[in-house]
Amino acid sequence: MRRRKRARRDEDDDDDEENGGPPGGRRPVRSLIVGGAEAAPGQFPYQAGLMVLGRGDQGGSVSVARCGAALLSDRWLITAAHCCRKGMSVRVFLGSYPTMQDAQQQFDSSVVLLHPKYTRDNPGHNDLALIRLPRPVRFNSRVRPVKLPSWKHRGDDFAGKVATLSGWGKTSDADTRPSKGTAVLHFARERILTSEQAESLLKRQIAPYFLCVRGLRGEVSCNGDSGGPLTVEAEDGRPMLVGVVSHRYGLQCERSRAHVCTRVTSFLPWIASVTRAAVDP
């Protein structure tokens, strides 16, 4: 049975903590791309994998959540705030292929900055976090930052554009294996919707800093994709980050349903002030 109005964030939680969902209910968070295609090596050099680490019963570190992220510079990444946990460190994987843990470069970081207006009581909103790495990334053909939108794009809703979403999330609702970072990186082509289209599909009001997308062939983000990048092609041909995967409505990764990303242009001033990342005029 499908339940239409419950929000699910597209993260993979290995614990049983109940986290507040976006408007529509409090549910544990889960999330892979249903209906997507396998990525080629180096196809998404800005794609990062995250493992959130907690303290195990024996005192060692254990994985409590897995998400995606996007590399912004040699020291900063962006992801979804709901992926992170207070007091927990984050392990970052870069240049990974085919699985998340088959990484060229790996970092442990405890510097995670949630957006100042993000709260667990309303986690679908302001759902962004920035991660600072302890040392610079070494750029190569498989590790390269994504382009941020320019200031002139702040008023652009990107509606009608075809975007690309990538991640290591589940590839079907029938996939019952625990998401342990063993899935091959997948991607999907998504159409960015107008607010009116999104509200019609989701039967709810859409916040101005939400960016809603729908797969061209019904693809949808699923357990493990949270925090991952949504990009469009910029004027110079490079991928440009316009969204960060946040949540979906429904308990299953329902094909043909729209899902919600956080709109990057709405948060450009915060991103630029924290990371000092270059933003074109």
Active-site residue set: 82, 127, 226
CA-CA distances (angstroms) from residue 174 to 1, 59, 215, 252? 14, 34, 19, 10
Buried b (16+ CB within 10 A) or exposed e, 85-122: beeebbbbbbbbbebbeebebebebeebbbbeebeeee
Q: Say if CB 191 and CB 169 are below 8 A apart.
A: no
- The structure tokens 């994504």 sit at 146
- Strand segments, DSSP code E, in 81-152 are 89-94, 105-109, 111-114, 129-132
Q: What are the start-end ranges of the H helices in 110-238?
A: 195-202
| Whole-number Å distance between alpha carbons of 204 and 149 | 27
Q: What is the residue type of 157?
A: D
